[in-house]
Amino acid sequence: MTSRIVSAFAAEEEKRVLSLKPVLAPVHGRYGDHPHQSYDAWPADDPDAPLVVLLHGGYWRYDRMHLTPFAAYLAGQGFHVLLPGFRRSGGAGGHPETFDDVARIVDTLPQGRPYVLAGHCSGGHLALWCAARGLLPTGSRWHTRTLPTSVLALAPITDLTATRRDDLSNGAALQLLGGEDVFDERLPEVDPLTLLRDAGTTGVPTVLLHGAVDEEVPLTQFSDYAAVHHDLRTVVLPGTGHYTLIEPGAPGARAVAQTLREMSAAFTPRASDRAGEEAAHR
């Protein structure tokens, strides 16, 4: 276990961004019966605006309110934004509920539209996991052939074994998977690095964007994942920490918005997507 020493820069950044006042979304909806199975939406005026589904961070424990200012910022940049909640560890979620909910989110909320699935920190872990669900055994409860159009992982946790080893956020990885006794058994189906190690790619266009001076998630998580994901695109922002990626108007957030524009412009229907759309209209 390593002790975490945070610089004054990182401490001020975290305090500044996480103390932003939540922004009330204009639209709310539900995708299930549990109170956490709800979402906020910022619809775009242009019906053809790119769709972004945001998965929030917080080490799988905390709610989505801290990401509402960033969601509203992206809406102001011309995106149609969905910000879902999900059952979280330490309460109603963890393994398998958190993964059940996130799988349900990406399987239903986009409603057949092409979209970028973006996630920050532990939300980035969940986004990368969603891209890798096609690599799961066909008998897995989360296996699917309907994958995100593309994925943008923002300062993501990519390696649950390293997260456990480094004791990030006081045992967050152990809490997510249910403790020491079941960690190793459950890991292979929910760890992006493990799923990619043999396959080399998810087949989903994926960008990993992070700050060069991120002190929240060790930089080795990013480099180790890039080493096994052979067609990953990586964007590194100099002088940028963990939280300014989601700080409205900050250089990091502007870079995220620009990357989302580039990814949205590259949407091309995959054969599986076209088949799904045709089936939906029969």
In a domain, 40, yes or no: yes
Q: With CA atoms as reference, report the closest residue to 155 among 22, 85, 253.
A: 253
Residue 3 forms part of a structural domain: no
In terms of residue numbers, what domain contains 70? Answer: 8-280
Domain count, the chain: 1
Side by side, the strands of the sheet bearing 233-237 are: 27-30, 38-42, 80-84, 51-55, 115-120, 150-154, 206-211, 233-237
Q: How would you class 62 by CB atoms within 10 Å of its CB: exposed for 0-12, middle for 13-18, buried for 19 or more?
A: middle
Within a domain: 2: no
* Calpha distance 92→64 (Å, rounded): 15
User: Over the stretch 141-176, which tens digit does the pLDDT of each residue have?
Assistant: 999 999 999 999 999 999 999 999 999 999 999 999
Task: Please report, as a single letter, which amino acid is at residue 163.
Answer: T
Q: pLDDT digits over 177-223, tens only?
A: 999 999 999 999 999 999 999 999 999 999 999 999 999 999 999 99
C-beta of residue 105 within 8 angstroms of C-beta of residue 133: no
For residue 236, is it within any domain?
Answer: yes
- Enter the pTM of the model: 0.94
In a domain, 56, yes or no: yes
- Per the CB < 8 A criterion, the answer to whether 131 and 195 are in contact is no
Domain harbouring 124, CATH code: 3.40.50.1820
Token pair of 257 as six digits: 């918005």
